[in-house]
A = this chain, B = another copy of it.
């Protein structure tokens, strides 16, 4: 472990260069035409360096998109939980809306989504590696709100996530309306109204 500070740092630099190259290239040429060779050339590394760390093109692209969320990785994928579900979801949804409104963030996700739509195998991989873990973190926050009596105890949480995120996903994907903080807030308000527990009499 001692005496190896430089190789470790160089490895991390290479890893970041590969992920950035994968992200750029998937935006530029699409997933179908993306090659490991092109990623290696853009990153300035050998093909073998990529294959040492990733088994496939799909794996690099998934990691390159996961890496976009790494700044918040110190808290894992957990959503904020202050006890105030409305405030917490508004923070999360405003951040999500801002990400999808950012061209540098949205371009690789748009390219990957295009491929997923037409490739059920890739869609399954996407669910397992990317969407699944993120959805679990979101559902953990909703379960906490259920325990606090803020969301109906019998709510279907998969459908709940669709209700909260799908309007934003569709508006972004079809470019059918503005992505603003106000939009994020209104979505959260409607979501919480739909999820409200029955009134006790």
Which residues of A approach B to under 8 Å, CB–CB? Answer: 110, 113-114, 116-118, 120, 123, 126-127, 131, 156, 158-159, 162-163, 165-167, 169-171, 173-177, 183, 186-187, 190-191, 193-196
Contacts and interface: CB of A to CB of B under 8 A. Distances in A.
Given A166-B166, A166-B170, A186 B156 contact: yes
Nearest to A189: B194
Nearest to A126: B174
A138 B138 CA distance: 31
Given A117-B113, A118-B110, A186 B167 contact: no
A121 B36 CA distance: 32
Given A113-B117, A114-B117, A117-B173, 5 more contacts: A123-B175, A159-B167, A159-B183, A162-B170, A191-B194
User: Main SS of the interface on chain A?
Assistant: helix
Q: Which of A123, A169, A187 has the most CB of B within 10 A?
A: A169
A14 B171 CA distance: 37
B158 A162 contact: no
Nearest to A192: B194
A159 B190 contact: yes
A1 B1 CA distance: 92
A166 B187 CA distance: 12
Counting from the closest, the 6 A-B pairs by CB-CB distance are A194-B194, A162-B167, A166-B166, A166-B170, A166-B167, A190-B194
